[in-house]
Amino acid sequence: MNKTQVSIDELRTNLAEIIGRVMYGNSQVVVKKYNREAAVIISKEEYEMLKDPTKRLTRKEWEKMFKTIDKIRDRIPVKDQKKLEAEIDRAVREVRAEKKQYAQKT
């Protein structure tokens, strides 16, 4: 994977060429604003793999991972599983509330 950095001015000037590098050249481009890394341009395929874990793993790897998770879960007593699930649910609600609160501020 080829990773390059460009300024916003370079991005404006060379947008078509940079998009071509990302699409066909297996590249990532880091865009800098005021000399700070601000964004990354990646291919649609790479984006899809990041968004959907099933696209990162083969079907066999996916099934193997879930078998391993099931084995671990089976070693945890049922009452502890329920406590763990409740704690996870609480943590998820907390994070979602924080995200919502942050979104409302911006």
- Would the pTM of this model clear 0.75, i.e. be above it? no
User: Is 53 domain-assigned?
Assistant: no
User: Is 25 domain-assigned?
Assistant: yes
Q: What band does 92 get if pLDDT is binned at 50, 70 and 90?
A: very high
pLDDT (average), residues 81-89: 89
Q: Residue 25: give its domain's CATH number.
A: 3.40.1620.10
User: Is 1 domain-assigned?
Assistant: yes
User: Is 32 domain-assigned?
Assistant: yes
Q: What is the mean pLDDT of the chain?
A: 90
Residue 83, both tokens: 């406590």
Q: Which domain holds residue 20?
A: 1-42
Residue 40's nearest CA partner among 50, 51, 30, 27 is: 30
Q: What band does 106 get if pLDDT is binned at 50, 70 and 90?
A: low
| Residue 57 contacts residue 65 (beta carbons within 8 Å) | yes
- On the question of pLDDT at 14 being above 90, the answer is yes
- On the question of pLDDT at 88 being above 90, the answer is yes
What's the chain's Rg over C-alpha atoms? Answer: 21
Residue identified by tokens 């079907």 is 59
Domains held by the chain: number: 1
User: Is 95 domain-assigned?
Assistant: no
User: Is 18 domain-assigned?
Assistant: yes
Chain-centre distance of CA 37, in angstroms? 18
User: What pLDDT is stored for residue 33 in this prediction?
Assistant: 94
The string of pLDDT tens digits covering residues 19-37 is: 999 999 889 999 999 999 9
d(CA 42, CA 23): 8
User: What pLDDT is stored for residue 4 in this prediction?
Assistant: 93
User: Is 47 domain-assigned?
Assistant: no
d(CA 23, CA 10): 18
User: Is 73 domain-assigned?
Assistant: no
d(CA 29, CA 11): 10
- On the question of pLDDT at 90 being above 90, the answer is yes
